[in-house]
Amino acid sequence: MTPMKVVVCVKQIPDPADPGALDPETRTLKRDVKLILDESDSYGVEMALQLVDAAGEGEVTLVSMAPNGERSGLATALAMGAASATLISDPELVGSDALTTAKLLAAAIKGQEPDLVIAGAESSDGYTGVVPEMIAALLDLPSVTAAKSIEVDGDELKVKRQTDGGYDSIECPLPAVVSVTAGVVEPRYPSFKGIMAAKSKPVDEKSAADLGFGSDQVGWAGSGQEIVEVANAPTREAGEIIEDDGEGFAKIVAYLEKMKLI
């Protein structure tokens, strides 16, 4: 049996229960609070651990880009069973946009030569939902999105890709980058033994320069994007009430057809 190496991208985010605030000048989320493992990424960690279990041999490693050397979220994923982590953290990275984030993650992943890269379909905080696809493009690997299940068969990957009406069956060669839909597996709770073991697992901290990036290529200087405005989401309007006069079902069907839901 060939050992399987899976890299999981894990974003560490402010606790959604206490998400902090936006910086009024840069309009980005203030991330100088304690960060936690994004729940969206706990599904990727679980899927990766299950794939390595199924392969019989191999390991799951993590990559994360986060400010202030933050490791709390990594500790959770290591306690779940990942073997080690690479943490990209550097004051120069403040202001990095999605593409810069993807470039740094791709550079950290490249050296590890994984069989498979797993990421969340979209993160729970300032999500753009583009980072996994950008990583695939940068590494010149196939990209499969919105996976609800992943199976490895030799050098082939078989993915059930979630759609509005069910799923598509996708096959592609390995190595590949797969983004995982939230909620598709039950992430394991770290055991006490896992939590203790995580304390001695290696976390390799890298700066932008370690990954070959100059200060003009990262952070605000390297960003091709600018956040020009942040607005509150519109409040939800009251729905239409349909009184059943004997023809209520027809009105509901007509409404659903108009919304292209049936």
Ligand X SMILES: Cc1cc2nc3c(=O)[nH]c(=O)nc-3n(C[C@H](O)[C@H](O)[C@H](O)COP(=O)(O)OP(=O)(O)OC[C@H]3O[C@@H](n4cnc5c(N)ncnc54)[C@H](O)[C@@H]3O)c2cc1C
Could you say whether residue 41 binds ligand X (CB under 6 A)? Answer: yes
Q: Which two tokens stand for residue 255?
A: 């409404």
Could you say whether residue 19 binds ligand X (CB under 6 A)? Answer: no
Q: Which stretch binds ligand X (CB under 6 A): 14-22, 69-77, 127-135, 160-168?
A: 127-135
Measured from the CB of residue 259, what is the shortest distance to ligand X in angstroms? 26
With CB under 6 A as the contact rule, the residue among 46, 90, 92, 97 that binds ligand X is 97
Q: Which two tokens stand for residue 170?
A: 């996708």
Q: Which stretch binds ligand X (CB under 6 A): 91-99, 154-162, 183-191, 240-248?
A: 91-99
Could you say whether residue 129 binds ligand X (CB under 6 A)? Answer: yes
Asked if residue 78 lies in contact with residue 62, where contact means CB atoms within 8 angstroms, the answer is yes
Q: Which stretch binds ligand X (CB under 6 A): 76-84, 119-127, 138-146, 235-243?
A: 119-127
The Cα-based distances of 84 to 8, 79, 158, 216, 218 in angstroms read 11, 10, 26, 30, 25
Residue 248, CB-side half-sphere exposure with 13 Å CA sphere: 7
With CB under 6 A as the contact rule, the residue among 22, 83, 130, 242 that binds ligand X is 130
The Cα-based distances of 2 to 126, 141, 144 in angstroms read 38, 20, 23
With CB under 6 A as the contact rule, the residue among 7, 10, 159, 185 that binds ligand X is 10
With CB under 6 A as the contact rule, the residue among 74, 77, 131, 152 that binds ligand X is 131
Q: Which CB sits closer to ligand X, 45 or 198?
A: 45
Tell me how many residues contact ligand X (CB under 6 A): 34
Q: Report the alpha-carbon distance of residue 33 to residue 14 in Å, rounded.
A: 6
Alpha helices in the chain (DSSP H): 39-55, 72-80, 98-110, 131-139, 192-198, 219-222, 248-258
59-78 binders of ligand X (CB under 6 A): 63-65, 67
The Cα-based distances of 232 to 24, 123, 174, 227, 235 in angstroms read 14, 19, 42, 14, 8
Could you say whether residue 95 binds ligand X (CB under 6 A)? Answer: yes
Angle between the 72-80 and 39-55 helix axes, to the nearest 10 degrees?
Answer: 30
Residue whose CB is nearest to ligand X in the complex, by number:
120
Which residues lie near ligand X (CB under 6 A)?
9-11, 28, 31, 38, 40-41, 63-65, 67, 94-98, 101, 105, 119-120, 122-123, 126-132, 223, 225-227
